[in-house]
Amino acid sequence: GAVVSQHPSRVICKSGTSVKIECRSLDFQATTMFWYRQFPKKSLMLMATSNEGSKATYEQGVEKDKFLINHASLTLSTLTVTSAHPEDSSFYICSARTGGVYNSPLHFGNGTRLTVT
């Protein structure tokens, strides 16, 4: 069964508004979660590493003021796309490990399809 739950699965918003995406670890605690972005027929690109109780670490080229990440508890990380624009339309996927780096792979949520009109 799923170990990472993501909500919502789909969202349509108007340009200029903000959208929040939730990522929850089920039955395990995740001090670190990873947020990826995927365009159609493309690979997954890491956006940021979400750290419980501290600031997220963003990959080069990802605007931290645009993509706000909050990891307020050991089971929940949120990604907020602020002032969304059509070019932000994409598939956003979060992930977490159930164990340590070298004894468990990343498990992914089922993604959130964001469409900005």
Residues in touch with other proteins (CB under 8 A):
4, 6, 32, 34, 36, 42-46, 49, 57, 93, 95, 97, 101-102, 105-111, 113
- Compare residues 42 and 85 and give the one whose CB is closer to other proteins: 42
CA–CA gap between residue 54 and residue 4 (Å, rounded): 21
Q: How far is the CB of 19 from other proteins (least distance, A)?
A: 18
- Measured distance CA(111)–CA(92) in Å, rounded: 5
Smallest separation (angstroms) from other proteins to the CB of 15: 24
Structure tokens, 95 = 């992930």
Nearer to other proteins, 5 or 82 (CB): 5
For other proteins, give the closer residue by CB, 51 or 82. 51
- Pick 78 or 109: Cβ nearer other proteins: 109
Query: How many helices and strands (H and E) does the chain possess?
Result: 0, 11
CA distance 117 to 107: 30
Q: How far apart are CA 112 and CA 106, in angstroms?
A: 17
Residue 52 beta carbon to other proteins: minimum distance, rounded to whole angstroms: 14
Chain position carrying tokens 């993501």: 6
Nearest approach, Cβ of residue 14 and other proteins (Å): 23
